[in-house]
Amino acid sequence: MIEIVKIAHPLREITLEYDRSKPETECERKLISMLLLQHDFIYELLTENNRLCYEVIDLEEMLDKEMERYNATETEVNAFYNESKFHLTKKGNNDIIRELNTRLDVIVQKATDDYKIFIAPIHQLYNEFCTAYCALVDKLEGEQPVKNEEFDAILNEINDNEANYSINLQMLLEDLKALFANMKIIDVGLEKQLEWTRQFEAFDKRLGNVYLKTEELKTLFIQYFDKDGLFDSSLSKSFANIKGNKKKKPFYFIKPNDIKVDRLKHTLGAFVIDEVETWNFSITVDAIREKLPHYILDTLITLQHYPKLLERFIFNCKIDIKNDFGGIMDDVDWKGIPMPMEWFSKFRDFPASIFFFEDNEVRGYILMGDMKFDEKDIAESGDKVALKGEVLQEVCTRLYNMCHFFFLFCHNTGFDPTDSIDDLITYTGLPVTLKQVKEGFKESLKNGIKVGAGANE
């Protein structure tokens, strides 16, 4: 007796035929179980594929609108780029270049705001979409719930011994053919999804080109005004390109090829463009309460790659502390208060930082802002105070180590810190001598020094 069996499934109804004059074998039951697993797997793939295909329709519309809107920004930057390049070829255009630099700041800020408002949300959707797309591809190309070899072996067994089995193999194969037709639908969907990612990547390249043009102009404006070669980092670049003399390599605390090195030009560009005499770092009261001075320290450490700029910064930096209303606090409002004193003491994480600040009290806080001592540890000495005992010994040790470190920091960079170290020691009046520090550093070099990943070996 022939029986038609229909099995309901969310993907599609499965239709099979059995000859009930023959008993159904375990082999046939295993075959149907594997068939259902294949239906489940393809159904899962197809469901996710269909979801992504619908999502692509919305994403395409969003991207088309944004690409159209971005045309104005792109056109503005390209025109400004060409105008700037024209004026940069001529000498004596200082006022024009300064005006262009101001306009560039406005353009960059506008582009930054545009990105936050319009582009960043699409970027986020793109990242989420790519994650889902890759997961779908990985599942499609990964381990299947049914091994083809095992499934084919059962089919071959039934086909070779058809008389022993009740199932109509031909009808089952027709069902399989209809099942795997869905794979073509998935392939078409994946290609459509991939095409959208290509469109976004093309747009992303446009964004990158605009960004590169603004970065190039920043560099060119700085080079235009940098008559003293403050931003000359040729020595550092020689080691970044593995061409420098290893025997004369500085003890780099940040690797020469680190992105921070090039970025410093843009951070400190105003130093030459606006002819700034003293470099002011700004910090809020809240930041002093909650944060370490990592940004400022990173900037100072990176000066190692720009020896002339490093020299210009010696005793020439200032920190403006802003109040809750954005105004700069007067010195009397924060000097002598424990919180900023302890905050400045954190600058000892980079011991050479004491050589960069113009303010005597700030240097004092860096040296000993975290120290606690009693009145018995100090004595009056004219208009100053004199330390004594263990406190004096501790402060002298700190000063010696900072000077020793500054020799290390400047070694082989092209800047000789001897005079700066001598000035600091002389000002403090502490019983530490330049000779002691120099001899100690020479002994350290003799014994071998290793610092960080970028140091000499």
Q: 191: closest CA among 60, 11, 49?
A: 49
Q: Is 375 a residue whose pLDDT tops 60?
A: no
Residue 264's φ and ψ, nearest 5 degrees, are -60, -30
Given a cut of 50, whether residue 383 has pLDDT beyond it is no
Rounded mean pLDDT of 326-333?
86
What pLDDT shows up at residue 420? 96
Instruction: Provide the whole-model pTM.
Output: 0.73
- CA dist 170 → 7, 13, 307 (Å): 17, 17, 82
Here the tokens at position 297 are 């320290």
Question: How remote is the C-alpha of 166 from its chain's centroid?
Answer: 65
pLDDT interval class at 387 (50, 70, 90): low
Own/partner long-range contacts of 21-26 (Cβ < 8 Å, ≥24 apart): 21/166, 22/164, 22/165, 22/166, 23/166, 24/166, 24/167, 25/164, 25/165, 25/166
Model pLDDT, residue 450: 67
Residue partners of 103: CB distance under 8 A and separation at least 6: 80
Selected residue with higher pLDDT from 266 and 416 = 416
Q: Is beta strand 14-19 parallel, antiparallel or unpaired with respect to 2-7?
A: antiparallel
Residue with tokens 């130093």: 271
- Where is 3: in which H helix or E strand? strand 2-7
* Collapsed DSSP state (helix, strand, coil) of residue 381: strand
Tokens of 433: 């001598």
Instruction: Evaluate the CA torsion angle 153, 159, 161, 164 in order and state its sign.
Output: positive
Q: Are 420 and 310 in contact (CB under 8 A)?
A: no
Mean predicted confidence (pLDDT) in 16-27: 92
Mean pLDDT of all residues in 88-108: 90
pLDDT (tens digit per residue) in 405-434: 999 999 999 999 999 999 999 998 889 999
